[in-house]
Structure 1
Amino acid sequence: MILYLLLLVTNDPFFKKFVLDKGVSPFAGWPGKKSAKTMLHINQGQHLKLITKTFVSLTHFKANRHLKLILPRTFAFTELRKTWFSTQPLLGNKNIILMGPPGAGKTTVGKIIGQKLDCVVIDVDNDILETTWNMTVAEKLKDVGNEQFLEEEGKALLNFNASGAVISLSGSNPMHEATMQHLKKNGIIVYLDVPVIDIINRLNLMKIDRIVGQNSGMPLKEILKYRKKFYKKWYDIRIFCEDGASTEVVADKVFDAVKRYRDVDSETFVSTRCKFRHPEERVTPKYFSDAVIEGLASDGGLFVPRKEFPKLSCLEWKSLVGATYVERAQVILERCIHPVDIPASRLGEMIETAYGENFACSKIAPVRHLSGNQFILELFHGPTGSFKDLSLQLMPHMFAHCIPRTCNYLILVATSGDTGSAVLNGFSRLTGSDKQRIAAVTFFPEDGISGFQKEQIIGSQKENGWAVGVKSDFDFCQTAIKKMFNDSDYTGFLTVEYGTALSSANSINWGRLLPQVIYHASAYLDLVNQGFISFGSQVDVCIPTGNFGNILSAVYAKMMGIPFRKFICASNQNHVLTDFIKTGLYDLRQRKLVQTFSPSIDILKSSNLERHLHFVTDRDGKLMTKLFHQLESQQHFQLEKILVEKLQQDFIADWCSEENCLAAINSTYHTSGYILDPHTAIAKVVADRVQDKTCPVILASTAHYSKFAPAIMQALKIKEINQTSSSQLCLLSSYNALPPPHEALLERTKQQDPKYHICAPDVNILKDHVETLIQTHFMKVF
């Protein structure tokens, strides 16, 4: 029997826009070899397919699973993408279109850019509208009124065409749909985002008291806020214009941003085990969309940006002090995600969806003063009550945007407690066809998490998400998933048979880790906004961690310009990370996982540590390969002394016993009326022990205490421990403590748990179960 494998080679946004739609073949002159069994074919005007012929029977293929599939972004495609953007002048035949409210400085900034690029500058108000109407814009507005003005303004631009120019729009142009669609076809739209209060001050100084909509009786502030939704809809690039920025500075920002937009190869990713250490060395590029889709690199390493993290200036950070969480997220992520991977306006829609009514607190991740110079960063206001929601309400939308439209994806997740329910909840919020082609399965240690966490994971199962209990610990679950990813025969079989690829939503996935940077930066800005510190003052952060992802994202926030001083790693009795930071020896020999009151950090193999060691060792992929292969085969590795000292410049570590954990919960409640969950209590104990008291410390509160009711009741010496989860949560809620009860968690206890599967700790058994789940959800290819 002949098998025909039809697979989309790439999901790249540039490819979709400029290759697939035009039927251009990126394989012209492709250097790859053509074998007897495999041939490449371009079906022009449709999707690019990889057609694989093999003369083996379907049953034989199923039995042996020996066909290996290679689905990388090809060298030829990379060159095509690079050629389209990078070999042309900055503008080429594109226009730079400046958009923003009246008083944003569009005309002045446009002139500066035009001089720099030696190109035509067109001011819509003066050069098009007034010429067309033979009157000033103000006269026209007075003559025809708001609605008629918008319509005539739009019509005046519908026949306008330009190429290689800088165009300054009027403040109201973006409110006309047809006009913006017309301009966008041949332009890069740059939004000058100036704070509303600055615009009002500028308009007052300019004595401009008449703009579209002002005679409706609506205050100017409300008019400007109303217009923002139109600006957000259309822009390709946003320039955040902080208070006091000169037009020259803004023009430079526009120039640099357009250059970044055109240079699609400026922000690529490499594996932590890549042998090339320097940017000029040749390596097949991976983009943000690749890192999100693939999760784990093919060599077993983790994806990291090839260049340093983008850094915001002090003025830019200060401008975000009074901003909302959503506004901060938008600025940070726009700097970290190339607009070719996710257009800025689409990214904004995702952020607003992710951090909306599904969070119980409007501040999303508020900071609360605990006592002295200690502050609590509350990361548990999401729908599943843990910090995982801060990334997993956003990551599924990014994932759905990045993947090919013609392929199914199954997300495999290992959880030590909180990730599982957060993944299932996040991916269940996808809509339409996205939910039909993306599903998730979470593996959790059957007897290694709290009772409520288990109920929550099981209860979070939806039509596109399942929970599987494994009779082992978290480390086995995580290792099993990595083995599945690295088994090309297995993944190839799933792709051939079911048109389904595997990916991950654990923090090994870059798309999962990146959003965590936001809340660390936001916490610092909140301390400034609340008057506890001034911007530039140093702050320590103390984070309970086992997989190193949460604390690593704080390190990334520092790289972006947040002045964190020390990162305090807080461990429970599974303190392999603490031992490593103190000694440089990562040693799993004769160490067994201990089940504790803080199960989410009951981890011995810390995946994200590899990302930080890659940075500490100056991107030495060969060393990473050596160290982590040695950890796998010999259960230990030792870091050189000079690298240990470098690590200890930023990190302090200690661990907390079970007794001290419960004691911290008890003492904190009786002194401040605040109930810590066991993970946050670990952080409190460690911070009390190692903090030098010279600067504030932010304790990351990673989960709501309701998820660990038995431990809390034991710590508070409440005798009624042997109750149902529902009654335990209701009892704790009656204490009127801080933080308040988590309504979503209380609602969870009222729901009946569906059935779930339990598997033995055998990778082959888990593989078979994954295949069965795929069979029930996705349509077979053949």
Structure 2
Amino acid sequence: MFPIVQYQPLRLITQNTPSNMCLKLMFSRPVAFPQTWKSWLSSHSLLGNKNVILMGPPGAGKTTVGRIVGQKLDCPVIDVDDDVLETTWNMSVSEKLQDVGNEQFLEEEGKALLKLSASGSVISLTGSNPLHAASMQHVKRNGLVVYLDVPTAVIMRRLQVMRVDRIVGQGPGVSLRDILQFRKQFYKRWHDIRVLCAGESTAEAVAEKVLDAVKRYQNSELETFISTRASRSGNCKEKDSAKYFSDVVTEGLAPDGGLFVPENGLPKLSAGEWQSLIEATYVERAQVILERCIHPADIPASTLGEIIATAYGENFTCSKIAPVRHLTGNQFLLELFHGPTASFKDFALQIMPHIFAYCVPRSCNYLVLVATSGDTGSAVLDGFSRLRDADKQRIAVMSFFPEDGVSQIQKSQMIGCQKENARSIGVKSDFDFCQTAIKQIFTNSDYTGFLTIEYGTALAAANSINWARLLPQIVYHASAYLDLVNQDIIAFGSPVDVCIPTGNFGNILAALYAKMMGIPIRKCICASNENNVLTDFVRTGTYDLRGRRLIPTSSPAIDILKSSNLERYLHLIASGDGQLVSQLYNQLENQGHFQLQRGLLEKLQRDVVAGWCSEEDCLAAIHSVYSTTGYILDTHTAVAKVVADRLQDRTCPIIISSTAHYSKFAPAILRALRIAEIKQNPLSQLHLLSSYSPLPPVHWGLLETLKRNENEGHQICAADTSVLMSHIEALIQSHFTKVY
């Protein structure tokens, strides 16, 4: 094998944001070819001197689709089977296979492809070409590899009609399905673009999708991001001011204090495309969805695939990653607690650090700041601790949490997850202060500029204000629906409701985004605890913080009054009116409230309903469910269960997001189950719960963390933004080299 040097065009950056001050002229990430994509465009041809290379399993339609694409582009078409192999060998492919056997055939096939020299053509590969590395590297040098991704079941049916019962590489005792599955790893390795081919798609329709995908690949400059507070008149379209996925991952918060969103919205998958994912694994679904949301100019498909496989691998205790379990009646639980820190935050924070490390320039150090109401802290510390050593040397993390506003087990987790590049600080205040203080630090240009100049360090965010935190959450909402279809609970196209315990509005926003992308979600039910500002807002359109005091509850992850991601949803239903969003949030900041216009409230209420749950009802629900099913809900899931019981109309299934494992809230669970609470450490509480043989079992990762770190301490600071800033500088001084 020999290396491929592949770069995307330069992107000139002129803004003096903390991230960009590190590097005014930045090379973006490696992608598919050594020339700028503009070289592909001409007034006469989509291709220029590049090839479009169709790849996929036998029966995918590569030859037929290739001919149609060639006709549309008015360019030569090369079928590797007919025009390369049989011409080279002077015999048919089947005769050659019989003559030399599987292993030698693959080598001979690869050698023949190495001799191919073409430009401005459409090339249809054989199904087995991707198994030969050197020849694939050869064709990729002057071409764009398009993967025709057809569901295995569809391929099996097509091959049966074609009377094909064996394919290249299939040895004794290996089924046709097994060899098709085996080949997927090679298709994932080599493709630049994936085209989902639903079973009923015509060759003409697939050809159109190929052309659309190639155009998208070429035009990375069209997939830009804007701030939720950007005014239409002031939205500059100059290339130098454009924000791309890599930029928003790096910067986190927009310079004007708003949140980044895709300027042209999220992509929508057709019903056929979603149906092609019904039998797919969670990792396969994640790659398809994220490929459509992240342009390959920012992260190439093969690299993204490696990141996803790393994120959702052995660090999850359930092979299904996000399984859907029947609870009772037409209620289903989406179990989001099988990650290493036992909460739904792992779904984003096992993948986000790798995305972040890939996207940020190598010339800067980065300190990731996090405000947490409990689960985010340990999840972000664990996620960033899994980076490669070289990345950990240039990326550090600091998490701020309310010292008395998280459970003892959550606090023990955060303390135990501290590493050489990661610190956790308790703040003598509530989550809203922590979140507001971090936003103030990000928008303090004097301070961020000082850190950049003095230490060569830029600040970044890993809260759900960062788009890379929110994006992976779309996947599990889509996956849950597909699982219900795969389990024959519903037919594809039938609606479901979802009920999500939420305080910061990120998790429920991800469900709303999944709906926008084509998942048939009817209603999103927003479940609050006694901090029910969101319930009041959804019902009345008034977001009112005047006189409100944050109430500590047994579901601390939703003990939030200022819901950051609500801003993204308001921007969406206001049709991108950033000026209106800016006015609303300025009014909230200055006057403590705002009122949504009637038309926008009606629009919101078409998608979202809301309810809240008292502490008493939360604990009663945990006891009731355990008594009738033997299953233990955590306190947040119990909030959602109570609200779902009150608001669902039972005409369709409802998926309740189980956002954390009950092990994290052992004292509250012991009270709910009416087990005498013991005044012992968290580890003893978990052992007591385990003795009841609960379903699901006590989270093993949590047990291991507590065993390792029973006696470790942590720093505590006053509720003063300047004090938080001093802790930030102290970590930078100890971890990064000062710039002279």
Sort the TM-score into its range (normalised by shorter chain): over 0.9
The range that moved more, 216-225 or 590-599, is 216-225
Describe the superposition over 1:395-422 as per-residue Cα deviations: whole angstroms up to 9, x where unpaired: 1111111111222111100000000000
Pair 1:277–1:396, CA change in 2 (3 A): farther
1:618 & 1:74 partners in 2: Cα distance? 34
Q: Tell me which residue corresponds to 2:31.
A: none
Distance, in Å, in 1 between the alignment partners of 2:662 and 2:341 is 12
Partner of 2:666: 709
Distance 1:511 1:129 in 2: 44
Matched, 1:423 2:380: yes
Distance 1:633 1:86 in 2: 50
Partner of residue 714 from structure 2, selected from 738, 744, 756: 756
Classify 1:81/1:168 alpha carbon distance in 2 versus 1 (closer, same or farther; 3 Å): closer
1:344 to 301, 310, 317: 301
**How far does residue 72 in structure 1 lie from its aligned partner after superposition?**
9.0
Matched, 1:410 2:367: yes
Residue 264 in structure 1 maps to residue 205 in structure 2: no
Does 2:111 align with 1:121? Answer: no
Counterpart check, 1:181 vs 2:171 = no
Q: Distance in 2 between matches of 1:278 and 1:75?
A: 25
What is the distance in 2 between the residues matched to 1:216 and 1:523? Answer: 37
Residue of structure 2 in register with 1:483 after alignment: 440
Give the partner amino acid of 2:721: V
Are the structure 2 counterparts of residues 279 and 485 from structure 1 closer, same or farther at C-alpha, using a change threshold of 3 Å? closer
Q: Name the structure 1 match of 2:617.
A: 660
SS class of match (1:515) = helix
| Residues 1:84 and 1:593: Cα distance change in structure 2 (over 3 Å) | farther
Q: Could you report, residue by residue, the CA deviation over 1:598-623 in whole angstroms, capped at 9, with x for unpaired residues? A: 10011111100000000111111111
Structure 2 partner of 1:234: 190
Question: How do 1:683-702 and structure 2 match up within 5 A?
Answer: 683-702=640-659
Once the two structures are overlaid, the 10-residue window that deviates more, 85-94 or 751-760, is: 85-94
What's the counterpart of residue 253 of structure 1?
209
Q: Which amino acid aligns with 2:85?
A: L
CA displacement 1:107-129 (0-9 Å, x = unmatched): 11100000010000011111112
Residue of 425, 430, 443 corresponding to 2:400 = 443
* Residue 213 of structure 1: how far off its partner (Å): 2.1
In 2, are the aligned partners of 1:90 and 1:262 still within 8 Å (CA)? no
Partner of 2:417: 460
Structure 1: 5+ residue stretches without partners: 1-14, 21-25, 33-49, 53-65
Find the counterpart in structure 2 of residue 767 from structure 1: 725
2:136 is the counterpart of 1:146: no
User: Partner of 1:779 in structure 2?
Assistant: 737
Query: Which residue of the partner structure matches residue 491 of structure 2?
Result: 534
Instruction: Give the C-alpha shift of residue 561 in structure 1.
Output: 0.7
Preserved contact between residue 23 and residue 361 of structure 2 (Cα < 8 Å): no
The correspondence of residues 101-116 of structure 1 with structure 2, limited to 5 A, is: 101-116=57-72
CA 1:85/1:660 → structure 2, altered by over 3 Å: closer, same or farther?
farther
C-alpha change, 1:82 and 1:251, in structure 2 (3 Å) is: closer
Structure 2 counterpart of 1:510, from 464, 467, 470: 467
- Following the alignment from structure 2 to structure 1, what is the Cα–Cα distance between the partners of residues 234 and 647? 37
> Given the alignment of the two structures, is residue 204 of structure 1 paired with residue 190 of structure 2, yes or no?
no
**What is the rounded CA distance, in whole Å, between the counterparts of 1:604 and 1:358 in structure 2?**
33
Question: Is the 8 Å Cα contact of residues 18 and 452 (structure 2) preserved in structure 1?
Answer: no
Letter of the 2:448 partner, please give it.
Answer: T
1:572 pairs with one of 521, 529, 542: 529
Distance 2:577 2:731 in 1: 39
Alpha-carbon distance change, 249 to 279 in structure 1, aligned in 2, over 3 angstroms: farther
Deviation at 1:663, TM superposition (A): 1.0
> Which deviates the most, 155-164 or 196-205?
196-205
Q: Which moved more, 1:218-227 or 1:235-244?
A: 218-227
Match of 1:386 in 2: 343
Distance (Å, rounded) in 2 between the aligned partners of 1:153 and 1:181: 14
Q: Which moved more, 1:239-248 or 1:646-655?
A: 239-248
Instruction: Give the superposition deviation at 1:279.
Output: 9.1
The aligned counterpart of 1:5 is none
Where does residue 473 of structure 1 map in the other structure? 430
User: TM-score under structure 1 normalisation?
Assistant: 0.89
Q: Confirm whether residue 221 of structure 1 aligns to residue 211 of structure 2.
A: no
CA distance in 2 between counterparts of 1:250 and 1:640 reads 44
| Residue identity in the other structure for 1:235 | H
- For residue 494 of structure 1, what is the aligned residue in structure 2? 451
Question: Structure 1's 705 and 253: CA in aligned 2 closer, same or farther, altered over 3 A?
Answer: same
SS at match of 1:533: coil
1:767 counterpart letter in structure 2: M
Match of 1:57 in 2: none
- How has the CA–CA distance of structure 1 residues 711 and 566 changed in structure 2, closer, same or farther, with 3 Å as cutoff? same
- Cα RMSD of the aligned pairs, angstroms, is 2.4
* Contact preservation (8 Å) 2:349, 2:380: yes
The corresponding residue for 1:92 is: 48
- In the TM superposition, residue 278 of structure 1 has moved relative to its aligned partner by 11
Aligned-partner residue type, residue 181 of structure 2: K
The question of 1:396 aligning with 2:386 is answered no
Distance in structure 2 (CA, Å) of the matches to 1:215 and 1:700? 44
Corresponding residue SS for 2:107: helix
Quote the Cα distance in structure 1 between the aligned partners of 2:319 and 2:565: 30
CA contact (8 A) 2:22 2:364 kept: no
Letter of the aligned partner of 2:58 in structure 1?
A: P
Residue 7 (structure 2) aligns with: 17
Contact kept? 2:8, 2:297, Cα under 8 Å: no
What do residues 47-83 of structure 1 show as CA deviations (whole Å, max 9, x unaligned)? xxx9x9xxxxxxxxxxxxx999857988999xx9785
The corresponding residue for 1:554 is 511
Cα distance per residue 1:513-556 (max 9 Å; x no partner): 00000111111111122222111111111111100000000000
For the Cα contact (< 8 Å) 1:82–1:265, is it kept in 2?
A: no
Distance 1:460 1:367, change over 3 A: same
**One of 689, 694, 697 as aligned partner of 1:740:** 697
User: Identity rate of aligned residues, in percent?
Assistant: 66
- Map residues 20-59 of structure 1 onto 2, 5 A cutoff: none
Distance in 1 of aligned mates of 2:399 and 2:146? 41
The answer as to whether partners of 2:22 and 2:458 remain within 8 angstroms in 1 is: no
687-696 or 291-300, larger mean C-alpha shift: 687-696
Greater CA deviation, 687-696 or 767-776? Answer: 687-696
Alpha-carbon distance between aligned partners in 1 of 2:357 and 2:55, rounded to the nearest angstrom: 29
Do the aligned partners of residues 68 and 341 (structure 1) sit closer, same or farther apart at CA in structure 2, a change above 3 Å counting? closer
1:136 aligns with 2:92: yes
Q: 1:291 to 1:379 in 2, by over 3 A?
A: same
Give me the whole-angstrom Cα distance separating, in 1, the residues matched to 2:215 and 2:163: 35
Question: What do the CA deviations read for 1:455-494 (whole angstroms, capped 9, x no partner)?
Answer: 1111111122110111111111111111111111111111
Greater shift, 200-209 or 227-236, is seen at: 200-209
Distance verdict in 2 for CA 1:218–1:300, change over 3 Å: same
Q: TM-score when scaled to structure 2?
A: 0.94
Contact 1:279 1:306 in 2 (8 A): no
Q: Any conservation in 2 of the 1:69–1:488 contact (CA below 8 Å)? A: no
Contact in 1 for aligned 2:41/2:47 (Cα 8 Å): no
After superposition, give the CA deviation of every residue in 1:630-663 in whole Å (9 maximum; x if it has no partner).
2112211111122222211111111111111111
- Structure 1 window deviating more from structure 2 (200-209 vs 505-514): it is 200-209
Alpha-carbon shift at residue 225 of structure 1 (Å):
2.0
Unpaired stretches in structure 2, ≥5 consecutive residues: 29-34
Q: Using the TM superposition, give the Cα deviation of residue 175 of structure 1 relative to its aligned residue in structure 2, in angstroms.
A: 1.5
Alpha carbons 1:295, 1:504 under 8 Å: kept: yes
Q: Residue 120 of structure 2 is aligned with which of 142, 159, 164?
A: 164
| Amino acid paired to 1:756 | H
